[in-house]
Structure 1
């Protein structure tokens, strides 16, 4: 077989898996507590804030969140009820759903970004020296290249 994971590789995987799961769980929980935003809320509002005119079509937000159409539709509806965004139709294509950030959504993401960055600094960046940061960057880029290569060859 030869393709399994040996004990040394299992230790690498276990440490990586535990670190990322605990990191994201902790970051998500504290973001929700401090700002009232979930990770998908944060991703959607950040994408809208940075988009031209603060507007994106639903399929573009689906790419940001990796939500399937129905889940995204329900999430956008809940965010709209909370006043974070509006849902509109394009004049040239009434079937195309467009989300637009509201002033409330802009205020929420503006307040959330520095809090999230503070936690990323405290729990990740401050825990690493410069060599470890460089190594983590190299490792992350290598894994991402491999994933992109696999995705490209599967298409």
Structure 2
């Protein structure tokens, strides 16, 4: 290979291209459907729901903003802007970190917990009907293995800073 030239890409086979395009469609259509259902059921966006679930699973319903951003693979500025909007709606609150005085905790409020509790039953039904029920019998095992392998590779790439976080 000469300087400045690139190797010919290994093109996708027709089957691989079909898989890839189905994946792209699913990763676009599923979040949109989840978003619509969450908004209808509880007035939440999908990112709101992600934040509330994450906080609800922590001890004391609180996390540092930087930890929350990292867990959601968001840029810190995206997390700060989104949390500001959620704070205005009373879903979360910010508390100063007494340990170092520099950072902030984001805390799940009672209103945030109530919104999450309203959203969860419909969300579970939506996940089941749109994601699990359409799978062929036994298809969840193969899909689980495939998704675990993809997730491991992607997490390794993000950790190694080979791809930017979303």
Global fold match (TM > 0.5): yes
Q: CA deviation at 1:130?
A: 3.3
Whether 1:110 aligns to 2:141 is no
For the 8 Å contact 1:40–1:65, the answer to whether it is kept is no
For the 8 Å contact 2:132–2:140, the answer to whether it is kept is yes
> For residues 152 and 65 of structure 1, do their structure 2 counterparts lie closer, same or farther at Cα, with a shift above 3 Å needed?
closer
> For residues 83 and 154 of structure 1, do their structure 2 counterparts lie closer, same or farther at Cα, with a shift above 3 Å needed?
closer
Whether 1:50 aligns to 2:50 is no
Q: CA RMSD of the aligned region, Å?
A: 1.8
Distance 2:147 2:32 in 1: 19
Distance 2:68 2:161 in 1: 23
Q: Structure 2, unaligned stretches of length 5 or more?
A: 1-7
Report the count of equivalent residues: 155
For the 8 Å contact 2:64–2:104, the answer to whether it is kept is yes
Q: Which residue of 1 aligns with 2:4?
A: none
Q: CA deviation at 1:144?
A: 1.8
Distance 2:76 2:150 in 1: 28
Q: CA deviation at 1:33?
A: 2.2
TM-score relative to the length of structure 1? 0.90
Distance 1:66 1:45 in 2: 15
Superposed, 1:129-148 pairs within 5 Å as: 129-148=136-155
Off by >3 Å, runs of 4+ in structure 1: 148-155
TM-score relative to the length of structure 2? 0.85
For the 8 Å contact 1:44–1:64, the answer to whether it is kept is no
> For residues 78 and 23 of structure 1, do their structure 2 counterparts lie closer, same or farther at Cα, with a shift above 3 Å needed?
same
